[in-house]
């Protein structure tokens, strides 16, 4: 769909807006806020226009500037762990999800004895809807969204698929087993094969919003596959970036632009249907950008690494219910906090044993945050199950332990403001590269700030290193082995009519 498709959608939005004024303007609002959680995929720090003026994300930037921008919001280094932390409120290393993202042939999924976020919200009286990428396992029906608290699901079970034809591989290298992956609730849906996925998702949400009563509280979890590979986008979104001369970067910025357009349509529909005034909209990326696709400048590292570029996500909260807006929050926030924060807003129950905090008051009033530290991730070295490998944040300091790779800085091909980087140490002068223990001051508001992680200060602060090592080793006692079983050939879509489907593993 090109410019003609954009025009048709604009006309459709105008018609729906008029219809809503006629029939829904006086509709009673829900007594509980509607919760809309927008999750981007592999979107980097420098892929949004409030960090990079050359990016085109006007709808997101408007929501961010009229809300609270979260400048210290942390996620996991890769897809599945972040989703598991969001849904359970628990550190992935405590439930076996600290390893690589789930592949489509993995005979496992998100642990079934956890009451996940949509289940808690459903018990609190919410209708619950998941749109987009699931990526928390589907080998058995018990792992799938409509069996985990979502009333409806519309999207893909796996971690990635062709943005047009929904072909999905079991391997990130796009080799081996592959099949169709797109569902409407439990059933495969082939109706929109050939249509770009952000269009399909926006269409679905518009229809959902116009079909429901805004007096009933709603939880909408909209998890885009943008800007995750395969790198695909309609030309209308890539064209503004042709000046860059770097195909991958042009497409990744175009994918962010397309996602922004879809989010703009969702917000328009929220307003047209009487949902918006009583809504809380959250936006975050699931991890940092993958090298050579998105960009995390000026942060160090990217997806699958424990550096800031892999774990510090662009994000915000937007809501007409907020009394103080239009500022950047430096409140320390971790993805596990969303469970308690959103369940608290909804009047839901937070299970015992979660790792998150209810941060609503701290974020919205500027009071002291209940979170002062968090674990980036914990794992053991593959060659030595007793060797600690992970990272820990306490206050302004970040400790990295073990073989921490992928610590490059990748300058954006479109260029950047030379005066923008906050630290100016040359890459050739980095300290601590080969050290098994590194310490950085990563806060943005201290005289010795180093959010770009260029200067290891472990040698000059041995007492802080010792304190954080003790904290990290205490957390290490909670770690369970990573749940990463061998791929199962019985998952082959050829056994299920060419569609990736549940029904070939035993749940556990």
Positions marked catalytic: 79, 135
What span, in angstroms and rounded, lies between the C-alpha atoms of 8 and 4?
6
> What residue has token string 């195909």?
247
Residue among 306, 353, 342 at smallest CA distance from 453:
306
Residue 6 CB coordination number (10 Å)? 15
Cα–Cα nearest to 420, from 452, 384, 461, 462: 452
**Structure token digits, residue 92:** 């992935």
The H or E element containing residue 385 is: strand 384-394
Which tokens hold the place of 386? Answer: 């007793």
Q: Are 121 and 87 in contact (CB under 8 A)?
A: no
The structure tokens listed for 495 are 């056994």
474 contacts: CB under 8 Å, gap ≥ 6: none
Phi, psi of 381, rounded to the nearest 5 degrees: -65, 135
Q: What are the phi and psi torsion angles at 378 (to 5°)?
A: -140, 135
Strand partners, 312: 74
Residues listed for the chain: 508
Residue 216, number of CB atoms within 10 A of its CB: 12
8: left (phi over 0), alpha (psi -120 to 50) or beta: alpha
Q: Are strands 187-188 and 183-184 parallel, antiparallel or unpaired?
A: antiparallel
């Amino acid at each position: 769909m090109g410019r003609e498709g954009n025009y048709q959608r604009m006309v459709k939005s105008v018609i729906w807006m008029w219809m809503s004024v006629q029939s829904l303007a006086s509709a009673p609002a829900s007594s509980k806020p509607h919760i809309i959680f927008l999750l981007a995929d592999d979107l980097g720090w420098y892929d949004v226009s409030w960090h990079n003026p050359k990016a085109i994300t006007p709808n997101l930037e408007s929501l961010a500037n009229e809300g609270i921008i979260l400048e210290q919001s942390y996620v996991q280094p890769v897809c599945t762990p972040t989703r598991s932390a969001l849904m359970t409120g628990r550190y992935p290393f405590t439930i076996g999800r600290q390893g690589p993202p789930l592949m489509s042939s993995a005979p496992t999924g998100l642990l079934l004895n956890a009451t996940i976020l949509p289940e808690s919200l459903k018990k609190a009286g919410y209708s619950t809807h998941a749109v987009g990428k699931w990526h928390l396992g589907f080998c058995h029906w018990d792992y799938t969204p409509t069996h985990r608290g979502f009333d409806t699901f519309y999207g893909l079970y796996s971690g990635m698929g062709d943005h047009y034809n929904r072909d999905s591989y079991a391997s990130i290298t796009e080799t081996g087993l592959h099949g169709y992956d797109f569902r409407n609730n439990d059933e495969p849906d082939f109706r929109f094969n050939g249509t770009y996925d952000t269009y399909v998702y926006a269409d679905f949400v518009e229809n959902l919003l116009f079909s429901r009563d805004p007096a009933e509280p709603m939880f909408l979890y909209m998890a885009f596959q943008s800007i995750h590979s395969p790198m695909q986008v309609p030309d209308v979104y890539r064209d503004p970036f042709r000046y860059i001369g770097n195909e991958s970067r042009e497409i990744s910025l175009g994918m962010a632009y397309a996602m922004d357009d879809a989010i703009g349509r969702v917000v328009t529909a929220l307003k047209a249907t009487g949902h918006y005034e009583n809504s809380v909209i959250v936006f975050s990326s699931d991890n940092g950008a993958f090298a050579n696709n998105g960009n995390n400048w000026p942060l160090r590292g990217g997806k699958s690494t424990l550096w800031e570029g892999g774990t510090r996500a662009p994000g915000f909260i937007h809501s007409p219910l907020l009394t103080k807006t239009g500022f950047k929050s430096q409140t320390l926030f971790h993805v596990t906090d969303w469970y308690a924060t959103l369940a608290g807003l909804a009047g839901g129950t937070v299970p015992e044993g979660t790792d998150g905090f209810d941060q609503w008051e701290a974020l919205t009033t500027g009071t002291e945050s209940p979170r002062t530290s968090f674990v980036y991730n914990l794992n053991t070295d593959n060659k030595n199950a007793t060797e600690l490998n992970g990272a820990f944040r306490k206050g302004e300091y970040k400790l990295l332990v073990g073989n921490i790779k992928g610590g490059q800085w990748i300058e954006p091909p479109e260029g950047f403001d030379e005066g923008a980087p906050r630290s100016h140490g040359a890459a050739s002068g980095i300290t601590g590269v080969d050290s098994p223990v590194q310490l950085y001051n990563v806060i943005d508001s201290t005289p010795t700030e180093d959010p770009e992680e260029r200067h290891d200060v472990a040698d000059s602060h041995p007492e802080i290193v010792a304190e954080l090592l003790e904290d990290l080793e205490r957390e290490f006692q909670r770690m369970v082995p990573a749940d990463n079983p061998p791929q199962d050939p019985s998952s082959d879509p050829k056994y299920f009519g060419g569609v990736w489907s549940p029904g070939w593993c035993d749940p556990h």
